[in-house]
Amino acid sequence: MTVPRHHHARGLGLTSASMRSKLLNELRLSGIHNEKVLEVMGRIARHEFVEEAFSSEAYKNRSLPIGHAQTISQPYIVALMTQAALGAPGTVKPRRVLEVGTGSGYQTAVLAELVEAVFTVERIRPLTESARQRLQRLGYRNVHFGYADGMQGWMPYAPYDAIVVTAAAQTVPPSLPDQLAPGGRLVIPVGAGKAQKLLLIERHATYFGETVLSDVTFVPLLAGRI
Ligand code: SAH
């Protein structure tokens, strides 16, 4: 069925409500079972995080351009990473989370709804600034922004209960597991080009556990700031 343009514009609120519930169903079917993650993702207005030209795509399960050759991650991947960072029910809930790769600030907002404090670092200055303004406008008060190379983690606020990296590393940068608190979880895509795996690395008392969560395609994690 084709929807007349004026009708579509007038019904934007309604359209996005039905698109949001369709997206949540898709997430459930792909194995996202954490109800808090689903609730938060159903509530946050993803269209606020993409350029206006892409508003109508915002509730589809796909990544979208955010400028500077970067992308806002696919909702399924955001949900999967958040669910992994939070840990299984019954495990200790993370309070302080580091995100490497602020980008649009969407993943940041999802985390900020679920934990006490989010520390997020980005290496592209204009993206840091626009994400900071966006999250301030949306009312988030528990997010700390850094313009920094997150390959080094973010020492001033370490250790973290969880670290979520939203760009693909060639290998795990040693600073990241180092900055995990005991029992902490690092969620990071690792690998070159299209052969990337999303890893969950858990800090135990005497060793790090590693689990492969999924095949993924992220933009590369790059050194230095621009
Ligand atoms: N979480 C973002 C995803 C953005 S894409 C969102 O929800 O929109 C990944 C981001 O990681 C890009 O903005 C890129 O500039 C950033 N990035 C890449 N390497 C980085 C590094 N070493 N330190 C900090 N940010 C980095």
Instruction: Summarize pLDDT for 48-65 with one digit per residue, the tens.
Output: 999 999 999 999 999 999
Q: Is 63 a catalytic residue?
A: no
Pocket of ligand 1 (CB under 6 A): 66, 70-73, 100-101, 103-104, 106-107, 121-124, 127, 149-151, 166-167, 219, 221-222
Dihedral sign of CA atoms 61, 65, 69, 72 in order: negative
> Measuring from atom 10 of ligand 1, which residue has the nearest CA?
101
- As a whole number, the mean pLDDT across the chain is 93
**What is the whole-number distance in angstroms between the Cα of residue 82 and the centre of ligand 1?**
16
Position 92 scores a pLDDT of 84
Q: How many CB atoms lie within 10 A of CB 170?
A: 11
pTM surpassing 0.75? yes
User: Which atom of ligand 1 is closest in space to residue 107's alpha carbon?
Assistant: 7
Q: Which DSSP string corresponds to the chain?
A: -PPPHHHHHHTHHHHHHHHHHHHHHHHHHTT---HHHHHHHHHS-GGGGS-GGGGGGTTSSS-EEEETTEEEPPHHHHHHHHHHHH-STTSPPPSEEEEE--TTSHHHHHHHTTSSEEEEEESSHHHHHHHHHHHHHTT--SEEEEES-GGG--GGG--EEEEEE-SBBSS--THHHHTEEEEEEEEEEESSTT-EEEEEEEE-SS-EEEEEEEEE--PBP-SS--
Q: Give residue-wise pLDDT tens across range 107-152.
A: 999 999 999 999 999 999 999 999 999 999 999 999 999 999 999 9
**63, 73, 104, 130: which is the annotated catalytic residue?**
73
Over residues 189-209, the mean pLDDT reads 95
